[in-house]
Chain A
Amino acid sequence: MLEPCDSLVLADGVALGEGRVVDAVAEASWPVNASGSFVLERTGCRLESVVAELAAAFALPLETAREDVLAFAWQLNRLGLVNVRRGSRRLRAAVVWVRLAVRLAPSGTIPSFTARRRRIDTTTPLRAFASVVRGAAGRGTALALGTFAAGAHLSLVTGRPSLLVPAAVGVSVGAGVVVHEGGHAAALVGIPGALVIRGHRIYVLHAPTESRRRRVVAAAGPALTALIGLVVLTVLPPLGLPALGLAGAPAAVHACALTVLAGDGRTACGL
């Protein structure tokens, strides 16, 4: 969801060239017309002021300029070329989003999420992994807390109250997502990459690479997560921690992504 007080910022690795937006990470470029360049030259300005300037410069009705700017901003954000800098506090933006979601509920739709793209430092596997951890930590924590709350509730309902197992499973679910993307990033050494988070989707964007490397990058994420899950499941129960050993199961489930049922698996198979 975009608000008039928000502003656009070009994502790391994206630049405005001669009539083109150039993405150095994806090694792709898109043509932009005069009004598109006009908007992109005003990154960092509030959208409402960009709309007003565009309407004045191109002699457009204000409503038409607003529709054009918002559609253009959405398109660029969907492609991961620009990030949205919030003009309001995060809590206020969340409240506005929830209000809109409630209004749209009868039609069965929810307001769109904006995408956020962050650069991944791929100079070494460790740095690449750390970049993803920094970028996805918030998402992983939210996922872990949600899983913990659901698990604790379930343990109460089933008459076996426990905080330890839901906490361990929550950590496994949240950390699993972060490690999965971190695994992709660690295999990307030397290749420009970026982490993109959009709604519930989180993925690593990278420059085109030769077929074998692409397969390795695709397999690395789920393989690393599943391996960690397997180790947790195998090592902790004999150490007298069977309940914590259960936490390996959600991480092991990432192995599903090695099959053709998932995009990673199809790429890893060379499809």
Chain B
Amino acid sequence: MISEKICILRTDLVPILRVKYDKDSFKDLFDTYYNPLCNFCYRFVENHTDAEDVVQDVFTSFWQKQDRIKIETDVKYYLFTSVRNKAIEYIRSKKRKMNLEDEMGRRSESSYTEEFMEENLIKELISNSVRQLPPKCRQIFVMSKVNGLTYVEIADQLNLSTKTIENQMRRAFQILRKTLKVR
């Protein structure tokens, strides 16, 4: 049996089954990975516009060179690796100060890619679910976990008690676990 999990991510399966992406499945692939790839790329290029440019380039050339690309492992791993390589190339071509040479060396290791690929994909899944939280609950969650405010600061700003913030946060995590189907 093929589990539900695999069916959801069927856009990943295209290369495994040795078929080509058509326009629709390529759009799926794009929609699934664009945002986490941009966030991943931002770590390298440290500029949102550049991050988007690099990721868009990777998708464009992926589509154009589909016939010639052999995906050895997994399409998302391929995409993250391509973005990493292109980002490094991009930085070098911009001849930015390379006093971060050591840091870049570390970042170009594949374990770095694996680690942050997973992290970014999880963040993406959670962010998508956060959008489905009830408005007030979402606002509090974002203030806390995205903007980094303390419960006291949030309570102050929203004119609510700290207790309410705590309750809303607990509720947020309950809903997230439910939508993400995890315990």
B partners with A: no
Give me the interface of B with A, judged by CB distance under 8 Å.
none
Give me the interface of A with B, judged by CB distance under 8 Å.
none
